[in-house]
Structure 1
Amino acid sequence: MHPTEPHDAVDHRLTELEIKASFNEDLLDQLNQVVIRQQQQLDALLREVERLRQQMPEAGSGVFSRAGDDLPPHY
C-alpha cells in the first residue's frame, strides 16, 4: 500500500485482482479440459492407425504383382 493511497482504492485494486484471478482460474480449467479432450482424441487416432497397420498386407507379399500395379491407370 502506497502511504498516500486511500483505503478504498486499495480495496478496489484488491477486488480487481481477485476478479482477474478468478477469471484466470476458470480459463485454466477450460484449457485443461481442451488438453484432456485432445489427448483422448490423439490416443484414439493412434489406436486406429495401429489397427489399420495391422490390417495392411506385409510389404512384398505379392499384392502388387507387376511394377505398374501400384499406380492407378491414369498416372
Structure 2
Amino acid sequence: MDHRTQLEERIAHLTRHVDELSEVVARQQSELDRLSRRVAMLMAREAERELDTGGSIPLADQKPPHW
C-alpha cells in the first residue's frame, strides 16, 4: 500500500470519527437545552410555591450568603 492510499484511509477514518463526535455533541446540546428548560420550570414553580406560603423573596432569587 502506497503512502497516498494510507493517508486517504486515515483521512476517511478521521472524517468518520469527526462525524460521529459531531452527532454526540448535537445530542448532548439537545439534552442540555431540555434539562435547562426543566430546571427553569422547576425554579419558577418553587418560587410560586414560596410566595404562596408567605415568603418574601423566593429563594431562587436570593443571593447565597457568601455573596
- Which TM-score band applies after superposition, normalised by the shorter structure? 0.7 to 0.9
- Structure with the greater relative contact order (CA < 8 A, sep ≥ 6): 1 or 2? 2
Give the aligned partner of residue 19 of structure 1. 16
Structure 1: which 4+ aligned runs deviate by more than 3 Å? Answer: none
Larger Rg: 1
Where structure 2 has 5 or more consecutive residues not aligned to the other structure, the ranges are 56-67
Q: Per-residue deviation at 1:57?
A: 3.4
Q: TM-score, normalization: structure 1?
A: 0.67
Give the aligned partner of residue 47 of structure 2. 50
Q: Per-residue deviation at 1:48?
A: 0.4
Q: Per-residue deviation at 1:54?
A: 1.1
Cα distance in structure 1, aligned partners of 2:3 and 2:40? 55
Counting matched residue pairs gives 55
Where structure 1 has 5 or more consecutive residues not aligned to the other structure, the ranges are 59-75
Q: Map of 1:31-70 to 2, 5 A cutoff?
A: 31-57=28-54
Identity %: 7
